[in-house]
Structure 1
Amino acid sequence: MSRTLVQPVGQKRLTNVAVVRLKKHGNRFEIACYKNKVLSWRSGVERDLDEVLQSHTVYTNVGKGVLAKSKDLLAAFGMDDQTKICLEILEKGELQVAGKERESQLSNQFRDIATIVMLKTINPETQRPYTISMIERLMHEIHFAVDPHSNSKKQALDVIRELQKHFPIKRSPMRLRLTLPQQNFDSLAEKLTEWKTVTVSKDESGSQVSIVCEMDPGLFRDCDAFVRNLQGRSEILAISVHGEGDIHADHYEGHEEVSSSESKKPTEDVVQLSEKIQKQTLSADDTQGQVKQNKCSTCDAIVGDAKQYREHFKSDWHKHNLKRKTRQLPPLSADECRADEEMSDSKSDLNEYSF
């Protein structure tokens, strides 16, 4: 009896795809998309549906190529138009991300959050922003973990609040121009003093007073509402103000000389922070160095990292010293071991020749 090879027909298997999944009416529906195209479609960058969907077909399992039944589509979506259903799944479904892609997304989001923190913060003593690498180190030090389902800006603000508990860092001030009637200026001045704002300039023209000041961004809503109540208006000149140029006091007009001990005070916190990070880096390097140093007690020698340590056990040098150890003889170095083996080979050759 002859046997025939039976192969499944009507089954379309798709691999190396991005799967978008939607659970509805007790069933699971999936569509196959091109990688890195789903997010572009949702953000409005990609508008061609054919560039996003690999197939205008609804599956229950893309990996196995199992198609969704028409009765299930009618029960869940009220129609059996595959393209329209694919659009709904594309908009509302959950993107299934592979491990490496998820790791890449988290790494990029971590970098985005660190960039936002850098742009929104300054050193309170120097009035300058920290570098992106230092911000990332501090985020690692407070054990910050990225939430992929949360907004990067919201997470950045949470990071800033957490960093302020441990390190010298603060929100960079925003620069505003406040304009209001002359008779209401005294009320505003009292409020600005209470908010500890820094006045940059003041201009009086007729019955209006215009003042440029820098304040904490968290006070902007209260300030804007207060100025409106005083029949004035507020204008944002800069979201984030950082120190520029040389920030030493003796480069400004009308300065007063300060002692060298006083001039060093503003940078003490920064120096301590830098030293702390440098010590951690050095300690980490020392730890790695200690891990790499492996010593073989049989050969009485340091043989390197774990991989080299394993390879050493397979070497003729180690085997030769192991034989010497069983005879209670001291270990030989690698060169001595090779010389000893060559001497043994020469003796064996002479013995064979004599016979």
Structure 2
Amino acid sequence: MSRILVQPVGQKRLTNVAVVRLKKHGNRFEIACYKNKVLSWRSGVEKDLDEVLQSQTVYSNVSKGVLAKSKDLIAAFGTDDQTQICLEILDKGELQVAGKERESKLSSQFRDIATIVMQKTYNPETQRPYTISMIERLMRDIHFAIDPNSGSKKQALEVIHELQKHFPIKRSPMKLRLSVPEEGLSALMEKLNAWNAKMISKDKSGSQLSCICELDPGFYRDCEALMNNLKGKFEVLALSIHAEGDAHLDQYDEEEHEASHSRKELTATVAKLSDKLQKQTISTTTSGGNAAAGEGKQNKCSTCNALVGDSSQYREHFKSDWHKHNLKRKTQNLAPLTKEECMADIEICDSKADLKEYSF
């Protein structure tokens, strides 16, 4: 008599899904959806409900496969119609994001905040903006925690305020054009001096006097109120002003110094490889004919235009970087290279790729 062994499958159902959760009437209700479809449904791109829901079933816990009780559904939604309840949860519920997706989102938002901080600040010692990598490092030093439910701009302003307590960093000034009647000029100039504004130019047009200045963004609201009182006009020419040129190296600029040093080394390496390639081209041209004449019966590769040995060596040749590189050159209608030339050319290509990676 044969015996059938039943092995456990080890399958966890309803785990690789997007979950939309809604808390109502003291209970939690969840639905299982396809990834990337919930946002499409809410934006109106996706119209077919079956393309969004994995099943038109309401759960109390999707990952454990626990269905919601009918009495709880009626108490919370006034009906036990699964489709109708799914639509309400889909529209009003909170989309639960997986761990890796949440980590990716937070990393992207962290970078966005650092970019905004970089655009709005500068180093008062060098009069140049900090780089993004430096801002990110400073944010980690103060142990800044991202709030995924708050906007990046709002959090960037909080970061600037916190960084100013520990590091030399200032808000980049705004460039404004202010126009006031002649009788209001003295009051305007008095306030600008009190705010340490930098005057760029002055101009008079009829009874109106206008000036262009750079002002700390913290005084923007006060300036707006002042212009309203003086019955003047103001125009924002630039939200953030940085000194011309790249950021200078300073005590926080170790990464940029290392990158600059690496670029110089790579440039020198490319120059050496180019000289080496020219020398190898001359030497292989003079010795290639003699080497081929001294060989016995060999197979010839038409792609590389070279003798590559017996059948075994011929097969191995097709797997080599030499042959693959010449195949790429052949598709570009370029002449084949010898093995030495090919290796040098590959090194040059790799060096150039590294240079592009380090370039800003």
Deviations 1:135-183 (A, max 9, x none): 1111112222222233222221111111112222111111111111111
Task: Show the counterpart of 1:189.
Answer: 189
* Contact 2:171 2:217 (8 Å CA) reproduced: yes
Distance 1:68 1:179, change over 3 A: same
Task: Show the counterpart of 1:230.
Answer: 230
Separation of aligned partners in 1, 2:52 and 2:218: 41
Task: Show the counterpart of 1:214.
Answer: 214
Matched, 1:154 2:133: no
Amino acid at match of 1:58: V
SS at match of 1:271: coil
Separation of aligned partners in 2, 1:62 and 1:138: 40
Task: Show the counterpart of 2:250.
Answer: 271
Task: Show the counterpart of 1:120.
Answer: 120
SS at match of 2:196: coil
Distance 1:229 1:40, change over 3 A: farther
Q: What's the TM-score, normalizing by structure 1?
A: 0.61
Deviations 1:293-352 (A, max 9, x none): xxxxxxxxxxxxxxxxxxxxxxxxxxxxxxxxxxxxxxxxxxxxxxxxxxxxxxxxxxxx
Amino acid at match of 2:151: N
1:26-65 to 2 correspondence within 5 Å? 26-38=26-38, 44=43, 46=45, 48=47, 50=49, 52-65=52-65
Distance 1:41 1:173, change over 3 A: farther
Deviations 1:272-298 (A, max 9, x none): 34469999xxxxxxxxxxxxxxxxxxx
1:1-355 to 2 correspondence within 5 Å? 13-38=13-38, 44=43, 46=45, 48=47, 50=49, 52-245=52-245, 271-274=250-253
* Structure 2 residue runs without a partner (length 5+): 1-12, 259-360
Distance 1:136 1:69, change over 3 A: same
Amino acid at match of 1:271: D
Q: What's the TM-score, normalizing by structure 2?
A: 0.61
* Contact 1:126 1:243 (8 Å CA) reproduced: no
Task: Show the counterpart of 2:7.
Answer: none
Separation of aligned partners in 1, 2:123 and 2:168: 6
* Contact 1:29 1:61 (8 Å CA) reproduced: yes
Deviation at 1:91, TM superposition (A): 4.0
Amino acid at match of 2:223: C
Distance 1:99 1:166, change over 3 A: same
Deviations 1:175-211 (A, max 9, x none): 1111111111110010000011111221110011111
Deviation at 1:49, TM superposition (A): 6.0
Deviation at 1:84, TM superposition (A): 4.4
How many residues get paired?
A: 246
Distance 1:214 1:49, change over 3 A: farther
Distance 1:275 1:187, change over 3 A: same
Distance 1:203 1:31, change over 3 A: same
Equivalent pairs: percent with the same residue? 71
Amino acid at match of 2:216: D
After superposing the two structures, state which structure 1 stretch, 45-54 or 161-170, moved more: 45-54
Separation of aligned partners in 1, 2:182 and 2:164: 38
Amino acid at match of 2:32: A
Separation of aligned partners in 1, 2:139 and 2:107: 13
Deviation at 1:128, TM superposition (A): 2.5
Task: Show the counterpart of 2:340.
Answer: none
Deviations 1:87-146 (A, max 9, x none): 432343333333222222221221111111111111224432211111111111222222
* Contact 1:167 1:273 (8 Å CA) reproduced: no
SS at match of 2:235: strand
Separation of aligned partners in 1, 2:171 and 2:41: 35
Q: Over the residues paired in the alignment, what is the CA RMSD in angstroms?
A: 3.0
Separation of aligned partners in 2, 1:84 and 1:126: 62
Distance 1:78 1:201, change over 3 A: farther
* Structure 1 residue runs without a partner (length 5+): 1-12, 248-266, 280-355
Distance 1:55 1:175, change over 3 A: farther
Distance 1:31 1:246, change over 3 A: closer
Separation of aligned partners in 1, 2:57 and 2:146: 34
Separation of aligned partners in 2, 1:31 and 1:127: 54
Separation of aligned partners in 1, 2:41 and 2:224: 38
Distance 1:276 1:65, change over 3 A: closer
